[in-house]
Structure 1
Amino acid sequence: MAKILPFKAVRPTRDKVSLLAARSYDSYTPAQVESRLRDNPFSFLHIVNPGYKYQKEISGELRYSLVRNRYQEFKEEGIFMQEENQSFYIYKIVNRDGLEFNGIVAAASVADYENDIIKKHEDTLEFREVVFKEYLKTVGFNAEAVLLTYPDNKELEVIIDFVMQSRPEYEFTTTYRDTHYLWNVDDETILKKIQNIFSEMPALYIADGHHRSASSYLLAKDLENDNPNHNGSELYNYFMSYLIPESDLKIYEFNRLVKDLNGLQKDEFLIRLDAYFRIENRGMEYYKPSKKHHFSMYLDGEFYSLYLRKNNYEIKNALDALDTQILFETVLKPILGIEDLRNDQRIEYAHGKKDLAYVKTAVDSGNFAVGFGLLPVTTEELKKIADEGLRMPPKSTYIEPKLRSGVTVYEF
């Protein structure tokens, strides 16, 4: 059964939160990072990019120790404060598209991750797990929550609605036009009620943050081995998570762009595709698939619809039925020669918020030869993959909400 704990978050003061909160570092362009570091002394980016102070690129162990130093400076300067009581945090996001996400920031159990109560649907890269584990070990905090999802629960919905009747501790809108609200909950009765509800859930599912959760698991094992008095209650046995109901989860597709046709001429490529798909030329019509196992393709100035010939493709499990896997097994690997979806430089990915106009422009520019459009993975598919112990191909899902770093910090 799932175990979550309240914790004493380190968080920015109310007057600084809008200045401090930052998107994931990788989501900024270099120019955006530079402008924020230059113009906003309170940005969390100053913590994760400590070399800016010295106008120097710094990496490895030295960078980790400087991140720790910069974080301590923010605490010493009163930009961060420590919660007095163990708390859960009700966190609401209303994004620029009007979508609303309501969830709970809590500490999730490493033991649940190890025992598959917290279920995974995506493979991780070992070197990334190890690098981030070493980073966490040095800095001693986690500032970006793992996104977990749980089955819709009426009792939790009532509790969250009740808490949100009061004034939020934070209410701020970002330059990205998302509005964030946070309420801290330290009432013992409510805390126990929330914990009991989660304790009755057989499983939670990772929506976003597979590498972060894997790294937290590795860190806990390291620190357990280093601690002769380990008893299981230490803070390193948990990691910060943001838990939202399944109905709040928003999943977008990742479309595929390929730089060449693997030495094939256009007509040869189409003939090879015909073995697996019923193909229709849609001309300049922006064709977007509306059913599973249907795909959009943009090639040489024209759109095509591709409908899977099911008699030529065998579905044995939940992974086989996934459109990203079907495209890999029928097109990307056998025809275009792309076997390593993570590292092959001939393929790139564009999440569905960029739509098919982005795919068309990318191909028309000459940088790519062909683009493929897919339907989003559903929450049910995600759960079924995880339940069967399978793993999706990389870049199968682009999931919202996207949390800001530094709004709550979990120290261990």
Structure 2
Amino acid sequence: MSLIRPFAGLRPVPEHAGDVIAPPYDVLNSEEARDKAQGRPYSFLHISKPEIDLPGDTDPYADSVYARGAENLQNLSDNKVLMREAQPCYYFYQLQMDEHVQMGLVAVASVAEYDRNRIRKHEYTRPDKENDRVRQIDALNAQTGPVFLTYRHNTTIDDLAEAVGQTPPLYDLTADDGVRHVLWRVDDPTDIETITSTFEAMDCLYIADGHHRSAAASRVAEMRAGTGKPAGEANHDYFLSVIFPDNQMMILDYNRVIRDLNGLDQATFLGKLEETFRVETSPGIVKPGRSGEFGMYLGGQWYRLTIDPDRIPEADPVGRLDVSLLQNNLIDPVLGIDDPRRDKRIDFVGGIRGLAELERRVDSGEMQVAFALYPTSLSDLMAVADANEVMPPKSTWFEPKLADGLVSHVLD
């Protein structure tokens, strides 16, 4: 069984590609998806968020929702909006957001290699979200949301991607958010073999985003074991992936806002911080310039916090992360939030929203203090995964986001 393999993708016919592609299912709530899909009958949101086609009070986890998604997918195929490749192939997929450009490979990755940790993880999954993806994949008989993987860059793949990128693409689309999506098919047998063998020689791949989708794919493969082809050969033994080289990835900061100061007044709170951090006022927004430095917005004032270097456990791949340093030295001991996964006093703000969003959340009175973090590096993510450890929640925010509906993987 190979680490990755080509597949016969289900994708939009070119004239409808712009009508189909949609944001990932998990970046929109049901109301936002309903608004965005209004007047767009071919939008993939009708498949990834099918509750938008049912009464507004419908439970998004109701059986009828998954059934409606399957019906909507079948309708797009029946109406020739979606087409299936005649033969297995790979695709190269380029994303451009402003000046940032990255090109990855669309492939299906081995569930067995995921299960044995050759495709490495760095997050826990939530049972409710994982169950949702299992039911969605099983109902659709397809994986429609790709797992975002990364690898240590390789010149063979780089050179092939560059060569393919000089040829006419299948699609060249700009989404509503301004992100450009370009897709090329790779169907030359020599190129396919080169890609397959080059990845097979790699030690591992890493999940950047999509832990629930990959875990769900593993469960679906287990559910369907023995129902068709020998183990490792069926489509359900692989999961849809887009695989980007590490030197092209962009990780943004993932910031924190806290509802209160745990019963402390502002002066006492600042005094406690000075036991662990160098605290300096700033005339404007503080965007951390390096690891170990944090911005804090409190009472209409920005501060620069620099942690005591002696408190950074350099040999600990999880403990040395900025998200861990802030949690272990401030959010837990001073603000009393020991479980950021469940505590309702903390919220998280992706870096794509900008630091002005932190000011807005505090100035509105909704939150009392905000923290800006330096982005987690991809090398740190890999170190955590290599150590078989788990990162704290909301450690990474990847941009740009992959589109749903560009290519899907059918499990027949």
Does residue 164 of structure 1 match 2:195? no
Which sits farther off after the overlay, 229-238 or 159-168?
Answer: 229-238
Q: Deviations over 1:159-192 (max 9, x none)?
A: 1111122211111111211121111111111100
5 Å-filtered alignment, 1:35-74, equals: 35-56=35-56, 57=58, 59-74=61-76
RMSD: 1.8
Shift of 1:228: 7.9
Distance in 2 separating the partners of 1:132 and 1:34: 20
Alpha-carbon spacing, 1:173–1:274, altered in 2? closer, same or farther (3 Å): same
Deviation at 1:135, TM superposition (A): 2.2
In the TM superposition, 1:338-377 aligns within 5 A as 338-377=337-376
Deviation at 1:313, TM superposition (A): 5.5
Match of 2:87 among 81, 85, 88: 85
Cα separation, 2, equivalents of 1:146 and 1:227: 24
Amino acid at match of 1:65: A
1:123 aligns with 2:151: no
Question: Alpha-carbon deviations, 1:355-400, whole Å to 9, x = none?
Answer: 3222122211111111111100111111111111111111111012
Find the residue that maps to 1:152 and give its secondary structure.
coil
Greater CA deviation, 142-151 or 52-61? 52-61
Partner Cα separation in structure 2 for residue 44 and residue 86 of structure 1:
23
Contact kept, 8 Å, 2:179 with 2:400, in 1: the verdict is no
Inter-partner Cα distance in structure 2 for 1:313 and 1:48: 42
User: What amino acid sits opposite 1:184 in the alignment?
Assistant: R
The one-letter code matched in structure 2 to 1:85 is: Q
Residues 248-271 of structure 1: per-residue CA shift (max 9 Å, x gap): 100001111001001111111112
Alpha-carbon distance between aligned partners in 2 of 1:261 and 1:294, rounded to the nearest angstrom:
20
How far apart are 1:52 and its partner, in Å? 4.1
1:319 matched residue in structure 2: 318
Distance 1:348 1:52, change over 3 A: closer
Amino acid at match of 2:271: I
Distance 1:172 1:3, change over 3 A: same
In structure 2, what is the equivalent of residue 391 of structure 1?
Answer: 390
Q: 1:115 to 1:53 in 2, by over 3 A?
A: closer
CA distance in 2, matches of 1:34, 1:227: 37
- What CA distance in whole angstroms lies between the structure 1 residues aligned with 2:348 and 2:279? 23
The one-letter code sitting in structure 2 at the alignment partner of 1:47 is: I
Whether the 8 Å CA contact 2:30–2:52 is kept in 1: the answer is no
In structure 2, what residue type is equivalent to 1:105?
V
Q: Tell me by how many angstroms 1:53 deviates.
A: 4.0
Distance 2:38 2:266 in 1: 49
Assess, with a 3 A threshold, how the Cα gap between structure 1 residues 134 and 55 changes in structure 2: closer, same or farther.
closer
Given that 2:256 and 2:372 are in contact with CA atoms closer than 8 Å, whether structure 1 keeps it comes out as: yes
- Which residue in the other structure is 1:18 paired with? 18
Q: Which runs of 5+ in 2 are unaligned?
A: none
Q: Which residue of 2 aligns with 1:244?
A: 244
Matched residues in 1 for 2:106 and 2:311: separation? 46
Unaligned ranges ≥5, structure 1 = none
Return closer, same or farther for 1:248/1:313 CA change in 2, 3 Å cut-off: closer
Which residue of 1 is the match for residue 96 of structure 2?
94
SS in 2 for 1:123: coil
Deviations 1:62-118 (A, max 9, x none): 2112211111111111111110111001111112x2211111100000111111111
CA contact (8 A) 1:2 1:201 kept: no
Larger CA deviation: 368-377 vs 22-31: 22-31
Q: In 2 relative to 1, CA 94–339 (structure 1 residues): closer, same or farther, beyond 3 Å? A: same
Of the structure 1 ranges 349-358 and 151-160, higher mean CA displacement relative to structure 2 is found in: 349-358
TM-score, length basis structure 1:
0.95
TM-score by length of 2: 0.95
Mapped contact 1:261–1:370 kept (Cα < 8 A): yes
Between stretches 45-54 and 303-312, larger displacement belongs to: 45-54
Q: What is the CA–CA distance in structure 2 between the aligned matches of 1:30 and 1:229, rounded to whole Å? A: 37
Q: Identify the range of structure 1 (270-279 vs 79-88) with the bigger mean alpha-carbon deviation.
A: 270-279
Q: How far apart are residue 34 of structure 1 and its match?
A: 3.0
**Shift of the alpha carbon at 1:287?**
2.1
Whole-Å separation in 1 of the counterparts to 2:159 and 2:309: 45
* Aligned counterpart, 1:292: 291
Q: Are residues 1:406 and 2:405 paired?
A: yes
The DSSP-based 3-state class of the residue aligned with 1:101 is: strand
Q: CA separation in 1, counterparts of 2:49 and 2:356?
A: 34
- Structure 1 pair 4/313, CA: closer, same or farther in 2 (3 Å)? closer
Q: Give distance in 2, aligned partners of 1:383 and 1:232.
A: 26
Match of 1:155 in 2: 156
What secondary structure does 1:16 align onto? helix
Amino acid at match of 1:208: D
Deviations 1:240-293 (A, max 9, x none): 0001111110000111100100111111111221221121222x3222222211
The 3 A distance-change label for structure 1 pair 231 and 33 is closer
Describe how 1:274-293 pairs up with structure 2 within 5 A.
274-282=274-282, 284-293=283-292
1:323/1:7 CA distance change after superposition, 3 Å = same
Change (3 A) 1:207 1:312: closer
Q: In structure 2, what is the Cα distance between the partners aligned to 1:209 and 1:220?
A: 17
Structure 2 letter corresponding to 1:280: E
Q: Give the C-alpha shift of residue 321 in structure 1.
A: 0.5
The secondary structure found in structure 2 opposite 1:403 is: coil
Greater shift after overlay, 249-258 or 359-368?
A: 359-368
Give distance in 1, aligned partners of 2:129 and 2:47.
Answer: 20
1:201 to 2:202 alignment: yes
For residues 293 and 73 of structure 2, the distance between their equivalents in structure 1, rounded to whole angstroms, comes to: 49
Indicate if the aligned counterparts of 2:129 and 2:212 stay in contact, CA closer than 8 A.
yes
- Asked if structure 2 preserves the Cα contact closer than 8 Å seen for 1:296 and 1:303, the reply is yes
Matched-pair contact (CA < 8 Å) for 1:251–1:399: yes
Question: How many percent identity over aligned positions?
Answer: 33
Q: SS state of the match for residue 354, structure 2?
A: helix
Aligned residue-pair number: 409
